[in-house]
Amino acid sequence: MADVRNATSVTITCADCGRTQSIPALPPGAEAECVRCDRLLAHRSRLFDLPLACAMAIFILLPPAVFMPLLDSTIKHLLSDESRLVSSVPVIYSEVWFPFAFGFLFFAFLFPALRASFQIVVFLSLRWKWKVPQLGRIFRWSEELRLWCMTDVVVIAGTVAYYRANISADVTVRVGAWCYIAVAALAFIGDRALDRRAVWNEIFPDSVVPPVRHLASCDVCELAVMDRRPGDPCPRCGSRLDRDITPRFAPALGAVAAAIPLCLPAYSASIMVNDQLTGVLEHTVLGTVQLLADRGYWQIGAVILIAGVVIPIVELFGLLWLLARVRFPQKNGLIIRTRAYRVLHRLVRWPMIIPFIAALAAPIVDFRGIDDIVAGPGATPLFMIIVLITFAVRYFEPRLMWKTAGEEAT
Ligand SMILES: [Zn+2]
Ligand SMILES: [Zn+2]
């Protein structure tokens, strides 16, 4: 996309703490952080066309990654199995519960494809100066989908499933897996190279008036608006300016409250049921960690312990703490809590590794009577917990804490 149009400093409102401030025009490679909460406000990219190239490559590579063969497994050249990413969906559908199957389909394939197509529309129309209506809205949707595109999580889960299948069979990695790894790498590179401030500015320029008074502002694109009031739609991205507290607080609290009772079935029931020659083994999350450690695969055991147990607990307690501080505000420690929120936001997708391992291992380790893995009854509640926590993290805004503490506009 083209260079930033205005080379002067712009006035924006930090989405995390609500501080209106002006940021200078940056040289390539430079970053600007919020003066108060050190949120990354702008990152000037060197390569403006790289995110477009990545989005196009993702769009082309995703169909073969999902529909071509992923892994082949054989036991002594007698029994063989072939898995495709798309074949995991009917397997989960028949073994556990349909929302999990659809969740896998959406997080692994449909959301990344949708995000890439939104980005292609936005970047191409900025590059060639096409007049596309609602461009800001389309870019906002592509940014919303970022949290729900789990290509990197699928790759790590697939690696663990590969090692698990290798215990009993000879596993070959096929073209679909290589395409999917490329998609995950491109998504990571494109995300790193994306200059969000420049894209927003191309769609609708930020204000250049110095911040002399508190302005209505957008929590998504950080636009500070002169002539609108809180509650009006953002002229750039269509979100609501200065969103109310209750419509964000109540769903976040509800999602956390719904996730807590699900912990009992998720951790007491088995995630994977393994039918072997020697008998049927049912693995809970903690049982799997112990089994892997006993067999010498302690690295994978540690990954599962951190992703499956430690992160969900940290997320639940962390969110309860932050939500309590919205209801019972305190001025001290606002910056620390804002930073803690960013950590929660970054970690929240990773527990999805555990249900995805069950989903990916089920079609590849499918030798009935010899070695057969099916997703167990605990996989669905665990999946639900992670979706609810992600939803809560998405709905919670650190700015709510600043608002109720009366520190936002200062
Ligand atoms: Zn800030
Ligand atoms: Zn906006």
Structure confidence at residue 4 (pLDDT): 44
Q: How far apart are CA 229 and CA 277, in angstroms?
A: 69
Q: Do the strands 371-375 and 10-13 form a parallel or antiparallel pair, or are they unpaired?
A: unpaired
CA of 78 to the centre of ligand 2 (A): 59
Phi, psi of 274, deg, nearest 5: -115, 115
Are residue 233 and residue 272 in the same domain, yes or no? no
Helix axes 98-105, 353-364, angle to 10 degrees: 100
CA of 218 to the centre of ligand 2 (A): 4
Reference 307, options 347, 343, 278, 274; nearest CA is 347
Q: Which residue has the tokens 């509800």?
A: 254
Are residue 199 and residue 209 in the same domain, yes or no? no
State the ligand closest to the CA atom of 402. Answer: 1
Are residue 167 and residue 279 in the same domain, yes or no? yes
**Total of domains in the chain:** 2
Within a domain: residue 293? yes
Stronger pLDDT, 96 or 334, i.e. the higher one:
334
Q: How far apart are CA 148 and CA 394, in angstroms?
A: 10
Read off the tokens for 86: 């798309």
Are residue 234 and residue 123 in the same domain, yes or no? no
Stronger pLDDT, 112 or 279, i.e. the higher one:
112
Q: Please, are residues 59 and 116 in contact by the beta-carbon 8 Å criterion? A: yes
Residue 373 predicted with pLDDT over 60: yes
Domain that holds residue 224: 1-44+204-243
Residue 15 predicted with pLDDT over 80: yes
pLDDT digits (tens, 9 = 90+) for 301-358: 888 899 989 999 999 999 999 999 989 988 888 999 999 999 999 999 999 988 888 7
Within a domain: residue 81? yes
pLDDT digits (tens, 9 = 90+) for 246-257: 888 999 999 999
Q: How far apart are CA 212 and CA 203, in angstroms?
A: 25
Read off the tokens for 212: 């002399």
CA of 38 to the centre of ligand 1 (A): 6
State the ligand closest to the CA atom of 233. Answer: 2
CA of 189 to the centre of ligand 2 (A): 25
Q: DSSP 3-state helix, strand, coil percentages of the chain (rounded to 5)?
A: 55, 15, 30
Are residue 316 and residue 214 in the same domain, yes or no? no
* Predicted confidence band of residue 165 (pLDDT cuts 50, 70, 90): confident
Are residue 249 and residue 284 in the same domain, yes or no? yes
Are residue 255 and residue 393 in the same domain, yes or no? yes
CA of 403 to the centre of ligand 1 (A): 12
Are residue 20 and residue 154 in the same domain, yes or no? no
CA of 237 to the centre of ligand 2 (A): 4
Within a domain: residue 232? yes
What sign for the dihedral angle of Cα 249, 254, 255, 257? positive
CA of 19 to the centre of ligand 1 (A): 6
Within a domain: residue 409? no
Are residue 106 and residue 222 in the same domain, yes or no? no
CA of 198 to the centre of ligand 2 (A): 14
Question: What's the rounded mean pLDDT across residues 282-297?
Answer: 81
Residue 70: strand, helix, or coil: strand
Read off the tokens for 127: 């590059």
Residue 6 predicted with pLDDT over 50: no
Residues within 5 A (CB) of ion ligand 1: 14, 16-17, 19, 34, 36-37, 39
* Predicted confidence band of residue 55 (pLDDT cuts 50, 70, 90): very high
Residue 245 predicted with pLDDT over 50: yes
CA of 67 to the centre of ligand 1 (A): 44
Which residues 6+ apart lie within 8 Å of 146 measured at CB?
115, 191
Within a domain: residue 410? no
State the ligand closest to the CA atom of 398. Answer: 1
Structure confidence at residue 225 (pLDDT): 87
Are residue 29 and residue 55 in the same domain, yes or no? no
Q: How far apart are CA 205 and CA 208, in angstroms?
A: 9
Q: Which of 226, 243, 260 finishes a domain?
A: 243
Reference 383, options 197, 46, 105, 164; nearest CA is 105
